[in-house]
Structure 1
Amino acid sequence: MRTTIACFLSLVAPAIVNATQYHLLKDYSGQSFFDGWADYGNFDNVTHGDVFYVNASMAASAKLAYVDPATNHAIIKVDNTTVVPFNSKRNAVRITTEESYGIGSLFVADMLHVPYGCSVWPAWWSKTPNWPAGGEIDMFEGVNQDTMNQMSLHTEPGCTQVNPNQTSTLVHSTDCSSKSHNNRGCIVVDPSNSSYGAGFANAGGGQFVTELAEDGISMWFFPRSEVPNSIASNMSSVDTSAFGIPLANWPNGGCNINKFFQPQHLIIDITLCGIFAGSPSVFNQTCSGDCYQTFVLGPPSGYDNAYFEIPFVRVYSSGNTNSGSGNARSSAKVLSLPMWLWTLVAGVALGSAF
C-alpha cells in the first residue's frame, strides 16, 4: 500500500507547497500602539551606548514616545532638546513587547521614518529573555550615515547560513554563533540605498517583513511604492507566497530553527555610539570627530532625524489566532490537491489495504 501511494504521490509532487497563510494575531497601532510594550528604564547595559532608556512616564512627559494625534502614528525618538553635561548620557527609548511570538509567526513593521545621523544606532529586533539561548533576530539595523539596512541572526553555536534562497548577494558572515567573531552574527545587507537613512525617508519609508517558520527565517523589505496589496492596509490575513523570493533567508538546513529559536519578544530601540556605531573603525567611515564628545554631549545637534515614525507593527500567526498566547504554532507542509485527487488517494489506500 505505501509503495502504491508513494508512486502515486510522486506524480503530484509539484503540488506540495508550504502552508504560508497567516492570520492577524496582534495589532500595535493607533492610539493604543504602546499598549502591551514594556519600557526598559535603565542605562544601555546591552550595547554600551551613551543613552539612558527612560521609563514610560518619562517617555510620555518628554515626548520621546507618543502617538501623534494628527497622523495616529507612533513616534519614538532620542532627546533632541537637552544640553548633556560631560560624563552623562542622553535620554532615549527602548520598548519590548510583553508577549512573545514563536515559530509560525510573521512580523510586519510599517515605518515612514527611521533614526539616522552620526552616533545614531537604531534597531527593530527580537530576542529571548535567556539570550543567547533561544536566539536573536535583527530585522532592521543601521548606524551613523550608512544607507543600507543590515539583517542578522545571533544564536548559540551550531547555527549557520547554508544555501539561502535570497535576492541579496551582500553576505558579510554566515556563522550565527554569539561566540564567533565577537558576536558579529550571520549578516545579510540590503543593497538598496533606500533601506536606511535619508534615502529611506525620502522614498516614503516602507515595510519590513519577517517570517519565523520551521523551514527557516526569511526577511523582505518593501519600499513604499512596492508594498504588496496583501499588507498595504489593515489585512486580517497574509499569504507570503505573494512576496516573492526573500531579501534574506536562513534555511533550516544550516540552522535548526526548532533548536535555536524560542518565542521572541519584539524590540524597538535607539542607542547612541556604543560597541557598533561608536567603534572608531565604523564611526569614521561616515562621520568625523569623537562619537561621544562631538555628538552626545552639549547641545543636541544632529538628532532632529533620530526618530521612528511607525504607523503599525502587526504580528500574524499560522496557528490559532484565538489562542491569545502570543506563541504562534509552527507552520507545516501540506498537500495542495483538488478534492478528486484526495478521493483517488483514499481509494488507492483502501484498495491496497484489502
Structure 2
Amino acid sequence: MPNLALLVALSVVACELAAGTTYEMIKEYAGSGFFDDWDYYDNYDNLTNGDAIFVGSGSDLTYIDSTTNRAIMKVDNTSTVAYNYKRDTVRIASKDRYEVGSIWIADMYHVPYGCSVWPAWWSQAPDWPTGGEIDTFEGVNLVTMNQMALHTESGCKQVDPVQSSTLINTTDCDYEVDDNDGCVVTDPSTASYGAKFAAAEGGVFVTEFAETGISIWFFSRSSVPSSISSNSSTIDTDNLGTPVANWPKGGCDIDTYFTAQNLIFDITLCGDFAGTASIFNETCTGTCYTDYVIGNASYYDTAYFDVASVRVYGVNGTDTTASSSSSSGAMSNNLWDSRTAAVLAAAALGATALLAI
C-alpha cells in the first residue's frame, strides 16, 4: 500500500521543481505619476567627469508627454552654453532599492544618442563598489549596439554563460581591472541602440537579479513577448527564451557581490567614456566638448529617453524593496525553502526515493 504522505510530498516537490521562476509585479512607474518615486541628482556630474549638470526636479527636461502619456528625460537642446560651462541634463534614481529575487522591465520607445552623448539605464548599490552595479543599457556617441555589464569588487567573473550574444568583450567584473571596464557583453542587434532603435519604435529591456545569476533580455518592439506587451501581473522567466547576456552564479556568487539596487536613468556628456578621444573618434569627428557640448544645441535633438513604463517584479509577489525586506536575499530563498521542507517531510517518512531528486 503506497504511503499517502510520501506521495503527497513527492507531488509537491515535483511540481515545485518543474515550475519556472515566476515573478509577480510589486511596483510600476508609469503615466502621470512616473516621476513621483525618483530622486534627482541635482548636481554637476562629479561621478564620471561629464560636461553635464544634472538638474533637479521641476525642470522642463523631465515631463510626461501629453500625447503619449510616456515619460521624457532629455538633454537641454535649446540653450547656448558658454565656454567652461556645462550643459543641463538628467540623472534620476529610484527611491526604493530592490533585493536579489527581482526583475525590472523597462519599456522604451527612444533612447539618447548622438556625438558626446553617454546614456545608461542601470542599477547600483548605495555603497558602490560594495554591492555591485548592473548595466542593462549603455552606449556612447554614435555606436549602433547596446552594451551590458557588471561592475563589482574583486572575485566576480563571467563563467559559462547561457546567452544568445557571442560578443563578450571582457569577463572580469572587478572595478579595479582595465579602468573599470567591468565584464561586458555587447548585443549584436543594431536595433538595440541609437537611430535603428528609434526607427523600430524601441523595445523592452528585462533584467533578472536572481541568486542563480544575473540575466538581461532585449526584445525589439516587433518581438516583445505577449506576457510583457499585455502588461501581465506575472512574469515567468522560462517564457522569455535565452537571455542576450548572462552572468551565472558559478563565476560570481550573487549574494556575495551584490546587495539591493537603486534603479537609475542618466544621460551625461563626454566624460570618462564618451569623451575619451580614442572612443569618441571611433564614431564622431572633432572634439567632444568644444564642438558639441558648447556647440549647436540641436546636436541634442536625439538625446532623450522616451519611456512607457518601468515595472518591478518579485518572486511570489514578495515585496523586494530594501525598506520592507528583513534582509538582503531572504525573499529569494522562499521557493527553495518550500522545496526543502517538502523533501524533509518526505524523508522523515522514510522516503529514500527522494535522494534521486
The structure where helix makes up a greater share of residues is 2
Partner of 1:258: 255
Partner of 2:270: 273
Q: Which runs of 5+ in 2 are unaligned?
A: 1-5, 353-357
Task: Tell me if the contact between 2:23 and 2:317 (Cα under 8 Å) persists in the aligned partners.
Answer: no
What displacement does 1:16 show? Answer: 3.1
Superposed CA offset, 1:1-46 (max 9, x none)? xxxx9xx98xx98983565100101100000000110000001111
Matches within 5 A, 1:317-336: 317-321=314-318, 325=323, 327=325, 329-330=331-332
**Residues 348, 294 of structure 1: alpha-carbon distance in 2 compared, 3 angstrom cutoff:** closer
Residue 170 (structure 1) aligned to one of 167, 172, 189: 167
Task: Tell me if the contact between 1:18 and 1:332 (Cα under 8 Å) persists in the aligned partners.
Answer: no
What is the TM-score normalised by the length of structure 2?
0.88
Matches within 5 A, 1:133-172: 133-172=130-169
Task: Tell me if the contact between 1:19 and 1:331 (Cα under 8 Å) persists in the aligned partners.
Answer: no
Residue 120 (structure 1) aligned to one of 117, 120, 131: 117
Superposed CA offset, 1:234-276 (max 9, x none)? 2211111100111100000000000000000000000010010
What displacement does 1:349 show? Answer: 5.2
Task: Tell me if the contact between 2:130 and 2:153 (Cα under 8 Å) persists in the aligned partners.
Answer: yes
Deviates more, 1:230-239 or 1:88-97: 230-239
CA-based RMSD = 2.5
3-state SS of 1:98 partner: strand
Give the Cα separation in 2 of the matches to 1:127 and 1:351: 47
Residue 283 (structure 2) aligned to one of 264, 286, 297: 286
Give the Cα separation in 1 of the matches to 2:113 and 2:61: 16
Partner of 1:350: 349
Task: Tell me if the contact between 1:213 and 1:331 (Cα under 8 Å) persists in the aligned partners.
Answer: no
3-state SS of 1:174 partner: coil
**Residues 285, 31 of structure 1: alpha-carbon distance in 2 compared, 3 angstrom cutoff:** same
Task: Tell me if the contact between 2:314 and 2:320 (Cα under 8 Å) persists in the aligned partners.
Answer: no
Partner of 1:80: 77
Partner of 1:100: 97
Residue identity in the other structure for 2:228: I
1:31 and 2:28 equivalent? Answer: no
Task: Tell me if the contact between 1:190 and 1:247 (Cα under 8 Å) persists in the aligned partners.
Answer: yes
**Residues 322, 282 of structure 1: alpha-carbon distance in 2 compared, 3 angstrom cutoff:** closer
Partner of 2:220: 223
Superposed CA offset, 1:153-181 (max 9, x none)? 00000000000011100000000001111
**Residues 163, 322 of structure 1: alpha-carbon distance in 2 compared, 3 angstrom cutoff:** closer
Task: Tell me if the contact between 2:129 and 2:152 (Cα under 8 Å) persists in the aligned partners.
Answer: yes
Residue identity in the other structure for 1:150: Q
**Residues 351, 154 of structure 1: alpha-carbon distance in 2 compared, 3 angstrom cutoff:** closer
3-state SS of 1:117 partner: coil
What is the TM-score normalised by the length of structure 1?
0.89
Superposed CA offset, 1:28-66 (max 9, x none)? 000000011000000111111100001102x2xxx2000
Superposed CA offset, 1:112-152 (max 9, x none)? 00000000000000101110000000000011000100000
Give the Cα separation in 2 of the matches to 1:322 and 1:333: 14
Identity, % of aligned positions: 54
